[in-house]
Each structure stands twice: as structure tokens, then as C-alpha cells.
Structure 1
Amino acid sequence: MKRSGPLYTLLAGLLLAAFMLSLNATTGTKSSGYGSGGAASVPPPPPASTTSPPPSSAAPSPTASTSPTAAAPENVYAGRTDDNTAAVSISVRDGKAVAYYCDGRTRESWLKGDVDDDGSMRLTGKNGAKLEATTRNGKVAGEVEVTDRKQDFTATKAVKPSGLYRATNEVRGAKIDGGWIVLQDGRQVGIFTRDGKPSAAPRIDPSTGAVAIDNAWLIARPVTP
């Protein structure tokens, strides 16, 4: 019986040690599980673009002021020849003018020149094209000569989206040049030239200038001198 006393004491010590080891192991497992679970529940940081907007979105005013459609010409005129076979549009700004003559099929010409203080203008283009006209009371009236054919015309002030538009680019290796006159009643007269071969131009969206060419989108811009 005297020997059983130390044995019980040793056994009690072993049980206590086993309990402490089990308690430490359990506490360590819970701590490890919380750490991994907490890391998984935290979402990744958002992209930089969502927390700090790009400079252009933070300052839209300069972007708008430099857009091609924002810099509108001082005056644009659009109309037709007196025989109603072609259209003429003239853009005037700071004493300069650029004009476009187009029959919507094969005959077209871009012309440019100065505008005198009295509103008269004498514009010239390729292959001897000429335009002489005078601005009076919000109208431009005169004569245009393209491919040795003279025609009288009258053009009135155009209000957007009517006006004069042009698109130049290269699509699939072909040089593209398109001109459009959008008349006040919404009609469009234009020629689309691919590598020097003219044809009737597809319609543009005057509000955006978008036009589909060979399954590609081009943007026609308002024409200024």
C-alpha cells in the first residue's frame, strides 16, 4: 500500500501533462483556423482605376474643349445648284473659306480661298475648279465651275447637324476619302472615294459623324478652313 502512493502520484502527473498538451494543441488549431479563414474572407484590393480615376475623367473640361466636334466653324452654309443636280457647302472662319461641290455620284471638288471684308469670295480647287460668291443676309449665292461646267447656286446658313463633313483614312490598305453635305432637311449628298475611284457615299450619323466603311467604323469631322 505504501508503494501505491507514489504510483498514483505519477499517474496523476501524467494525466495532468496529457491534459495540458491536449489543451495547447486545441488552442493552436483554433488560432490557425481563424487566421486562414480571416485572410480568405478579405476581398482583394480594388484596381487602381476604381480608387483613383484617371486624370481625363477628373478634368473633363479640357478634353471637351479639344474634341474635333467642339471647335465649330463660325459659319457654315449648305444648299443646291439652281438646276438641282448637285449640292454646295461652304465653311467660313476668320476670313478663310473651304467649299465642297458634290453631285453624289462621280463629280466633286474641294475648293478654298479668302473671304473679303464685303463677304465676297473667290475659291479655287484642283483641275481648274472655281467658285465665286458673295455672302448677304445669311445666304451665299454665286457660281461654281467644276469640270468645265458652270452652275449657279444658293446656300443658306446650316444649323447642326446640317453642314459639311469629311473623313480620310486607310482601311485594309485602301486610301479612303469621303465628303458629305448634310442639308437642312436632313438629306445627304456625298461621294466616297477608294483609291481614287468615286462612288455614292454611305450615310453618316450627323450627331456622331460615324460611318461604316468595309465593316470598319470611320468618323467624319466637321470641316473648318
Structure 2
Amino acid sequence: MKRSGPLYTLLGGLLLALFMLSLNATTGTGNSSYGGDSPGAASPAPTSSAPGKGKASPTPTKSATKSPSKKPPAKAEYAGRTADDAAAVSVSIRDGKAIAYYCDGHDAESWLKGNVEDDGSMRLTGKHGAKLNGTLAGNAVRGKVEIDKQARDFTAARAKKPSGLYRATTEVRGAKIDGGWIVLPDGRQVGILKRDGKPQKAPRLDPDTGAVMVDGDRLTASPVVP
């Protein structure tokens, strides 16, 4: 019976050890030693990239730069016809000044002049209320010309020599001669020659030399500039 004390003590220790092992197995779902989340713990909400949610990163904006308006050319010639093909119109530009000639090739003509604005617009005037309102657009002048209270739309394309505007003023055998010619880009010519103020169709002009024959005399027409 003396040995039963230590035996009971040993059995009690074994039972206590079994109880502790059972308890650890039951509660072994505690926190991981690696810092992982416990089962059932809420995961961090993912950052949303949907438009309108969260803080949007600022978008760099370019400063608005206004392009300067293109100014009219310092030197240019334009020639064309009215929309109804009744007459020709030519415009010569030099350093913000313009001179234009309207001519039907028979008996109606007008010389007009004025300024060219920075935006390409022009308001030219001539005798007897003649006026031309036009605008430079690309390689042409477009607008309306009014002669003898009759308005016509026109388009005059950029012209290269020998196309353009020519004029000759002189005296031949006691008669005052004043002639105007428009040489169109396709080579056609429209002009009026006045002898002492009486208009008639102008003789053909040699655009390469400016030479023109009037009553057997050779005259020279020059390019018109403002």
C-alpha cells in the first residue's frame, strides 16, 4: 500500500497531460505565429478603380495656345471670273494695299482700291459708287463686286506670271489711250481699251513682254501694283 501513492501521482499527471493535449487540440485555431488572418476574419476591402470612386489622380492639362492668325501675303496677284461668267476680276496686293479691276471685255469696267486687313478682308471702292468686298481664303479672293448697282459674286485664284493685271496709259496720234487687261490663269484675256474715253474691246496683249499694238503703234502695258 505504500507504493500506491506514487502510482496515483503518476496517473494523475498522465490524466492532466491528456486533458491539456485535448484542450490544445480544441483551441488550436488561434492566431498564427506568422501573423496570418484568422479564419472568418474580414479581408481588407480592395481599392476600387471604378470611375467616380476613390481619389482620382490629377490629369495634366495643356495650356490653351491660340495660333496667331495668318496675315495676308505682302505681295500677290489674283485673277478670276464672276459666278455668272459675265466679267473678270483681278486683285493685286502689296503690303496691305489692294487695287482691283473689273472688266466685262466690252464696255463695262472699273478700277477699285483700298486696304487689306490683317484678317484678309478688304473693302475696295471706285468711281460712280463701285465697290468690292472680298476676303482672302486660302489661295483665292472671294467676295462680291458691285458695278453700276449690279452685284456679282466672284472668285479670283492666286495667279503666277504672266497671269495678272496690266494697264497702259499713253497718247497715240493725239488720242488719249487707257487700256486694262486681266490675264487669267488659263491664258485667256479680258480687257477694255478706251480711246478718248470711248470703250472698246482691247487688242491682245503679249503677257511676256507687255507689248500691244494700237492703231499700228506698239505700246507697252505694265503690271499694276497698288
Q: Is the TM value for this pair above 0.5? A: yes
Measured on the aligned residues, the alpha-carbon RMSD in Å equals 0.7
Query: Where does residue 209 of structure 1 map in the other structure?
Result: 210
Secondary structure of the residue aligned to 2:128 is helix
What letter is aligned with 1:192? Answer: L
Task: Quote the residue 1:15 is aligned against.
Answer: none
- Report the alpha carbon displacement of residue 109 of structure 1 after superposing the two structures with TM: 0.1
Match of 1:172 in 2: 173
Letter of the 1:159 partner, please give it.
K
Deviation at 1:136, TM superposition (A): 1.1
Residue aligning to 1:77? 78
- Relative to the length of structure 2, the TM-score reads 0.67
Aligned to 1:102: 103
* Partner residue, 1:87: 88
Match of 1:113 in 2: 114
The Cα offsets for residues 144-201 of structure 1, whole Å up to 9 and x where unpaired, read as: 0001110000000001111000000000010000000000110000000000000000
> What whole-Å deviation, never above 9, does each CA across 1:109-132 have from its counterpart, x for those lacking one?
000000000000000000000000
Match of 2:144 in 1: 143
Q: Deviations over 1:6-64 (max 9, x none)?
A: xxxxxxxxxxxxxxxxxxxxxxxxxxxxxxxxxxxxxxxxxxxxxxxxxxxxxxxxxxx
Does the residue aligned with 1:127 lie in a helix, a strand or coil?
Answer: helix
TM-score by length of 1: 0.67
Aligned-residue offset at 1:74: 1.2
- 1:40-96: CA deviation from partner (whole Å, max 9, x where unpaired): xxxxxxxxxxxxxxxxxxxxxxxxxxxxxxxxx810000000000100000001000
User: Which amino acid in the other structure matches residue 85 of structure 2?
Assistant: N
Q: Following TM superposition, by how much is the alpha carbon of 1:203 offset from its aligned partner in structure 2, in angstroms?
A: 0.4
Give the Cα separation in 1 of the matches to 2:138 and 2:154: 15
Higher-Rg structure is 2
Q: How many residues align?
A: 153
What is the alpha-carbon distance in structure 1 between the residues aligned to residue 215 and residue 88 of structure 2? 26
1:197 aligns with 2:204: no
Q: Structure 2: how far apart are the matches of 1:200 and 1:215? A: 16
**Aligned-partner Cα distance in 2 for 1:204–1:154:** 23
Counterpart of 1:113, as a letter, is G
Q: In the alignment, what sits opposite 1:133?
A: 134
Letter in 1 for 2:104: D
Residue equivalent to 1:186 = 187
The structure richer in helix per residue is: 1
Q: Aligned partners of 1:104 and 1:222: how far apart in 2?
A: 18
DSSP-derived class of the 1:106 partner: coil
Measure, in 1, the Cα distance between the counterparts of 2:194 and 2:165. Answer: 16
Distance 2:146 2:193 in 1: 21
Structure 1 segments unaligned to the other structure (5+ residues): 1-72
CA distance in 2, matches of 1:127, 1:174: 24
Alpha-carbon distance in 2 for matches of 1:199, 1:137: 35
Q: Displacement of 1:209 after TM fit? A: 0.2
Residue 208 of structure 1: SS of its match in structure 2? coil
- Confirm whether residue 163 of structure 1 aligns to residue 164 of structure 2: yes
Question: How far apart, in 2, do the equivalents of 1:181 and 1:215 lie?
Answer: 22
Counterpart-to-counterpart distance in 1, 2:103 and 2:137: 23
